[in-house]
Amino acid sequence: MYKVIPPVQMCVKAGFIVFKPDESPKQLIIVEEGKLIAYEWKNGEKSFVFEMNPGDLIGVAALLEKEEIHYHIEAAIDSKITIIDEECMESQLIKAPVWLVALMKSLSLRTRELKKSRKQTRSPNLLQSMTLFLYYKNAKELPLFETIQEYCFQTRSSIKSAYANLKYLHSNNMICLKGDNEETIFIDEPMLLSILTDCFSSKQSQSPYYPFHLSPLEKECLLFLSKYNSSELESGAWLNILQSQNPLFSASEWIRFQEHRIFVKVSEDKFLIHQEKIREVLLALENEKNIKKIILCN
């Protein structure tokens, strides 16, 4: 016959240390009355982490997943607590059905993963997320400090890493930090940031970035189209125009231009030059060497 060990109930005074990392055994602590606070020591001072009120508990993962509790737990006011140690928990779980034990462990693991995710940055590539963030700000000039603050709040990145990425973008001519103390972010060509983001995405998906895989013939025709007075024409008419520019231009290049939105269909069989897309492609080609260096190093 198994012996069931009951939990321990305690009344503690304000200031009583309920739990110390590396000193106290693994425990599940439940607040019945009063208030507890969790803190950690940083640079010789207490750093508040969270508070626990009646009904709150800590230490489920410590007992079920053998995870360490890294905080000091102290009574903020006179409190009543319940403490369940490993021996007590094991004696209680013996009576519990297998499915309930499995459910408790699953919930404990999910809680631990959620806490971990809250501490992690939301983007695996901070340079990519910074680039996209600046692009969507859609402004020529941004105040450095306020922009870093907003970015760090949204991504949970550190100020140090955010500033380092800004300096990196500056050194690679994607943006410009201006002012006596570089207190202003100047974005001369926002489209460059969009191009860089697309290149990061292509690298992650292991798919080719279209502008960097153009043939000399296609590049020549794009330059021609960038200066062409746009009008709506049927596909056959456009093919004739491009072949008059270069006889080697074929139907396969024409189809490829459509696939990559160099031309957009505006009616049943009429197409219009997408000048903004052409500008993007030519800008990417103009900065190809620099962009490839950034992508390769990140």
- At residue 282, the pLDDT reads 96
- Work out the average pLDDT over 72-80: 92
pLDDT band at 118 (very low <50, low <70, confident <90, very high): very low
Fill in the DSSP letter of residue 185. Answer: E
CB atoms within 10 A of CB 91: 15
What's the CATH architecture for 210-297?
Orthogonal Bundle (1.10)
- Work out the average pLDDT over 64-74: 77
- At residue 117, the pLDDT reads 46
Q: Is this model's pTM higher than 0.85 or not?
A: no
pLDDT band at 120 (very low <50, low <70, confident <90, very high): very low
- At residue 13, the pLDDT reads 93
pLDDT band at 84 (very low <50, low <70, confident <90, very high): confident
Give the integer Cα–Cα distance in Å for 42 and 76: 19
Q: List Cβ neighbours of 9 (8 Å cut-off, separation of 6 or more).
A: 32, 80, 81, 82, 83
- At residue 95, the pLDDT reads 67
Give the integer Cα–Cα distance in Å for 174 and 190: 9
274 phi-psi bin (left φ>0, alpha ψ -120 to 50, beta other): beta
Q: Check whether 252 has a pLDDT greater than 60.
A: yes
27 phi-psi bin (left φ>0, alpha ψ -120 to 50, beta other): beta
pLDDT (tens digit, 9 = 90+) per residue, 258-270? 999 999 999 888 9
* CATH of 8-119 among 3.40.190.10, 3.40.50.300, 2.60.120.10, 3.60.21.10: 2.60.120.10
Q: Higher-confidence residue: 252 or 180?
A: 252
* CATH of 126-205 among 1.10.10.10, 1.20.120.420, 1.25.40.10, 2.60.40.10: 1.10.10.10
**Least confident range of 146-160, 165-179, 272-286:** 146-160
pLDDT band at 104 (very low <50, low <70, confident <90, very high): low
Token pair of 102, please? 């499995």
Give the integer Cα–Cα distance in Å for 244 and 64: 75
Burial class (CB in 10 A: 0-12, 13-18, 19+), 87: exposed
| Cβ proximity of 124 and 139 under 8 Å | no
Q: List Cβ neighbours of 207 (8 Å cut-off, separation of 6 or more).
A: none
Q: Check whether 290 has a pLDDT greater than 80.
A: yes
Comparing 126-205 with 210-297, is the CATH topology the same? Answer: yes
Token pair of 271, please? 């197409």
User: Distances from the Cα of 257 to the Cαs of 152, 192, 230, 250, in angstroms?
Assistant: 40, 21, 15, 11
Where exactly are the structural domains of the chain?
A: 8-119, 126-205, 210-297
Give the integer Cα–Cα distance in Å for 6 and 89: 9
pLDDT over 90, % of the chain: 48
- At residue 86, the pLDDT reads 75
